[in-house]
Structure 1
Amino acid sequence: MAWVVLVLSGLMETAWAVSLERSAGFSRPIPSVTFLVTLALSMAGLAYALRTIPIGTGYAVWVGIGAVGTAVFGMLVLGEPATLPRLLCLLLVVAGVVGLKVFH
């Protein structure tokens, strides 16, 4: 269960990062509230998962999911460049996250 919660928390990290950008410096109310809610959910889930998952593994997986999710969102939705080097780097992050889970 802790791993499921950790993955969902990583996805919430993506959501709060996107909401933070969309809030335009907290000047837009809906993205600002979305940021606060998803931030709280992400942190609560991480805290729960770290009860049983070692902090080094849990935090790295959480950050990796959030970073890759945010980068992919930027490429697919915001028109950020999806160059081969960027995609290869994201693949390396995914490989690291999977490796941390496998060798946990």
Structure 2
Amino acid sequence: MSWFVLVIAGVLEAVWAVALGRSEGFTKLVPSLVFGAGLIGSMAGLAWAMRDLPTGTAYAVWVGIGASLTVIWGMLTGAEPVSVIRLVLVAGIVGCVIGLKVTA
């Protein structure tokens, strides 16, 4: 269950990161509210998962999921360039996250 919660927390990290960018310095209400809710949910999930998982592993997985999804979202929406090397690098992050899970 801790791993499932950690994955959800990682997804919420991507949500709050995207919302933060769209909030334009907290001048837009809806993205600012999404940021706050995503941040609280993400941190709460990370904290809950860390009750059972090692801190370093949980944090690395959380960051890896959030970073990967944020970059992928940027590519899908056209906000970031898409290239083979960028896709390979994101796949590397995902691979490392899976490796941490497998070896835990």
Shorter chain as denominator, the TM-score bin is over 0.9
The equivalent residue for 2:61 is 61
Report deviation, 1:83.
0.4
Deviations 1:46-99 (A, max 9, x none): 000000000011000000000000000000013421101111110110110000
1:45 is the counterpart of 2:45: yes
Q: What one-letter code is carried by the residue in structure 1 that aligns with 2:7?
A: V
Q: What one-letter code is carried by the residue in structure 1 that aligns with 2:19?
A: S
Return the alpha-carbon distance in structure 2 between the equivalents of residues 78 and 12 of structure 1. 21
The equivalent residue for 2:7 is 7
Q: What one-letter code is carried by the residue in structure 1 that aligns with 2:56?
A: G
1:94 is the counterpart of 2:94: yes
Question: How many percent of aligned residue pairs carry the same amino acid?
Answer: 51
DSSP 3-state at the match of 1:11: helix
- Normalising by structure 1, we get a TM-score of 0.98
Matched residue count: 104
- Normalising by structure 2, we get a TM-score of 0.98
The equivalent residue for 2:21 is 21
The equivalent residue for 2:36 is 36
Question: Root-mean-square deviation (CA), in Å?
Answer: 0.7
DSSP 3-state at the match of 1:51: coil
